[in-house]
Amino acid sequence: MKNIIVVYDNFFEYPSTVRFKALKQDFYYCDELDNVAVADKEDDDEILEIFKIGGQFPGQRSLSCEKILPNIYDEFYKKMSAFMPNDNIKINALFQKQTNDDFRNIHQDGNPSLAGVIYLDKTPAFNTGTCFYKHKKTGWDGTTEMPKEDDTEEWEIKAFQMAHDNFEKHSSIGNKFNRMVMYDANMIHCAEGAGDERLTLAFFVYSGK
């Protein structure tokens, strides 16, 4: 099991301004996106920005930070570059709001090589950080090939293994204002909770520009 987790505090120079501007943006639930793209957006570039939000996620997300708040994105990208081995990367970053009412499940982030969040709650509720999990029986944490029986289809194993009861928490990073947490996107993880509202800048790092 190789756990790649980076924690960096005091990320933005003016985090209160980032928070203020983020909350002024439009946010979308994932089940709104198809209707928005089809009914309201005729411009191809704008539809592309909506699709960048992602398919399934808890709560609401904004459009790409690069698109809606480019100055904040520039600061973000410059600081993130210091953590990268080279500049041949692409980073998609979006603001995300969650509440206690939103459904959260353990998951992997799929195609990106790295993923993470920057917490933007000035006074975060307890137990609203990010948790990482491993399979109780096999110890699988997502960073290696999925264990499976020879006669079982992979989708069946994944559907079984990603059931929350089959996993146990092995690491937890607390929610602290202006803290950046970055991890291997294959690691199985979940937001621990949200309180009344949990605001983050979620980001996904891809190889190649």
Residues 121-159 have pLDDT tens digits of: 999 999 999 999 988 888 888 888 877 665 555 655 565
Q: Is residue 148 part of a domain?
A: yes
Residue 21 or residue 3, greater confidence: 21
Domain that holds residue 86: 5-25+62-207
Judge whether 32 lies within some domain: no
Q: What's the length of the chain?
A: 209
Q: What are the structure tokens assigned to 198, written together?
A: 């949990």
pTM of the model: 0.84
- The pLDDT confidence band at residue 41, using thresholds 50, 70 and 90, is very low
Portion of the chain with pLDDT greater than 90, in percent? 50
119 within a domain of the structure (yes/no): yes
Does residue 46 lie within any of the structural domains? Answer: no
- Answer yes or no: is 108 within a domain: yes
Is residue 189 domain-resident?
A: yes
39 in any annotated domain: no
Number of domains in the chain: 1
Decide if pLDDT at 40 tops 50.
no
Q: Is residue 88 part of a domain?
A: yes
CATH value at residue 193:
2.60.120.620
